[in-house]
Structures are given as C-alpha cells and as structure tokens.
Amino acid sequence: MSKTALWVAKIGIGIGLCWVLWDRGLLRPGALAERFAAHPHLAVGAALLHGVVFWVMGLRWRIVARTAGPHLGRFEAFRLTLISLGISTCLPGNGAGDLAKGWVVTDRDHPFPKILGTMAIDRWSGITGMFLSWTLWSAFSVVQGGSLSLIGRWTLLVGALCSLGCLMAGFWSAQAERWLPQVEHRWLVRPMAFLRTTLASVARSSTDRRLLVRILAISLAAQIMIVGVGLLCAGVLDLSLPATALGVLLPTTMIGNSLPLSPGGVGVGESIGALGFSRLGLRASTGSETILVLRFASGIWAIPGLVSWMLWKRRHPGSQAPEEGLEANEGEA
C-alpha cells in the first residue's frame, strides 16, 4: 500500500470512528454547542491552561537541547512546541511533529542526529512522566476504594511496570552506543554513523542525572496540569468528576491518541474515553465528549503552530542566528 493510500485510510478510520460515536449518540454536536455557550469561561480556561502545558513542554526541551548545542529562547522553544503540535495534529502519530521541530533547528549548524538525540530524551521524559503520574493516581484510587478501585488496580500494575521500564531505559541509555556492532558494508556505514551520533547525543544527556531528574519533575508538573485541564473540560459538560478518576483515565486516551491510527488520534481517544467512563458507571457519552472538549483545548494551539511553520524562515547553514527569538545568553529556564 502506498503512503498516500495509507494516509487516506487513516483519515477514514478517524472519520469512521467519529461517525460511529455520533450514530450511537455518544457525540452530540448540538448538546456540546449548548454547553460551550453556557460555560465559555471554563472552555477558555481549559484552552489557556493547556497553553501553559505547552509552554512547560517547550522549556523542558529547551533544557535538554542545550546538551547538543542549540540555545533556544523561551518563546522560541514554545513556538517550536506548537509547530510540533500542529504537524502532529494533521498527521497520524506524533513522530512527524518532532521531525519538523528538529528540521527547523538544524539551520543553526547543529547536525540533525544530535538534535534527534535531544528529542528522544525529551520524549522519554514525557512518556515516563505520564506513566509515573498514572501510577500515582492509580495508587490514590486504590487507597480511596469505590468504583474506580478495580480499574485502579490494573492501571497501577501497568503504570508501575512501564514506569520502571522507562526509568531503567533512560538512566542506562548512556550505554546504548557501545552495543552497536562495527560494520564495514558500504550501504550500512552512513546509517550506522547517523545512529551513533544520535545515541551519543542521547548518552550526553542521560549521563547528567540532575538533568534527568529535573525534566522528569517538569513532566510530572505538566501531567498534573493536564488533569486540571480535564477537570475544566468536564465542568463545561456540567460533569462533576474527582481528579483521581481523570488521573487514571486520561493516560489511556493519551496512549490511544499517540497510536498512528488516525490524524491526531481523532476518534480513537474519544472511543477510549467512552469505554473508560462507562466502566465507572457514567454515561459513555460523557467520556467521549469530555475527551472531545479536551481535544479542543489542546488542538486550538495547533493553529498558531501551523501558522508558525508556514511563516518560519530557515537560514542557510553557516549564517549568524537572528536576534529575534534568541536568548542565547540568558540563564537557565
């Protein structure tokens, strides 16, 4: 199957899932419009808080990127994060957004493999932070008991195992370069050199334990704010949910959204939300609609990201960095 056909098929999957949810009454555009009109302040608050999350994510990558050379300004890191969001929203999976962000930065005479290594560590910290947050919220749900306790036991087990695996992978990734075999075949020399440079960049970041702890703390803070966004989105629907429930359920939708099944995970996250909320004895429609409102709070930031992508002027390698957007001499974030 060609790339174009595969991309069209994934768009079809997203549209098909949304149609099924609408046909079964799990997505009600009219009711959602009424809720937005009734609680515009909550909808705006959710969007603004999600903007803060993206700002924090930009600062996190800014810290990691310095290990490979690029000194990004705070606003520039935020802008690059929105570019990554915009590309990821339009294309299935999240990898395309990271590649676009890295491609922009390579115009500063920094090799792409080095930038890719910093993005790998940044993505690792985000995933690990999500699993750590999932584990903590699941533990709270088990302690509190109630209808969420059974789900919490399973998510506690999965979250704890994934957190342990991610932590081991991150703190031992400095050894990865040593595991690469020496190759002499002419077709493999350049790919292996690219991979070695990338892993060397990963190792440079992962050997700094203070840096790893710092970016993990930032990731945990971002996850807590995402739960806050979820509470505001539930408020738009006049739905009263404990933070613990959202802390347990939202990571499952994040994992679903990251799967390259549809552009931005549209339809996939809403379906998982409907299933998860129904397991708590709530109407399935509240789950799919809460995730849809949350998608609005996040996706609205994809618009300035796409505009920034289209307006971004790449420099020719070797030229001096423009003053605008750079804060090379400023202190730590």
Cβ neighbours of residue 12 closer than 8 Å, sequence gap 6 or more? none
CA nearest to 134, candidates 54, 215, 223 = 223
pLDDT for res 158: 92
Q: Helices 209-236 & 186-206, crossing angle to 10 degrees?
A: 80
pLDDT digits (tens, 9 = 90+) for 111-166: 777 888 888 888 899 999 999 999 999 999 888 877 778 888 888 999 999 999 99
Which residue type is seen at 321?
A: A
The one-letter code for the residue type at 56 is V
Residue written as tokens 């606003």? 75
Domain segments of the chain as ranges: 33-311
Distances, alpha carbon 119 to alpha carbons 52, 184, 216, 310, in Å: 20, 29, 14, 22
Dihedral sign, Cα of residue 280, residue 254, residue 132, residue 232:
negative
**How far apart are alpha carbons 205 and 57 in whole angstroms?**
17
Three-class SS state of 266: coil
Closest CA to 97 of 110, 107, 87, 111: 87
Please report, in tens digits, the pLDDT of each residue of the chain (333 residues total): 566 777 677 778 778 888 888 878 788 888 888 889 999 999 999 999 999 999 999 999 889 888 777 777 888 889 889 988 888 777 655 566 777 777 777 766 677 778 888 888 888 999 999 999 999 999 998 888 777 788 888 889 999 999 999 988 887 776 666 666 565 656 666 777 767 777 777 777 777 788 889 999 999 999 999 999 999 999 998 888 888 888 988 888 888 777 767 766 777 888 888 888 887 777 788 888 888 899 899 989 989 988 888 887 655 544 444 333 334 334 443
Q: Which residue has the tokens 């998860």?
A: 276
User: How many Cα atoms within 13 Å fall on the side-chain side of residue 233?
Assistant: 27
Quote the radius of gyration of the chain (alpha carbons, Å).
21
What is the pLDDT, as a whole number, of residue 322? 38
pLDDT of residue 149: 81
Residue 244, SS3? Answer: helix
Question: In degrees to the nearest 10, what's the CA dihedral of 49, 54, 55, 56?
Answer: 90
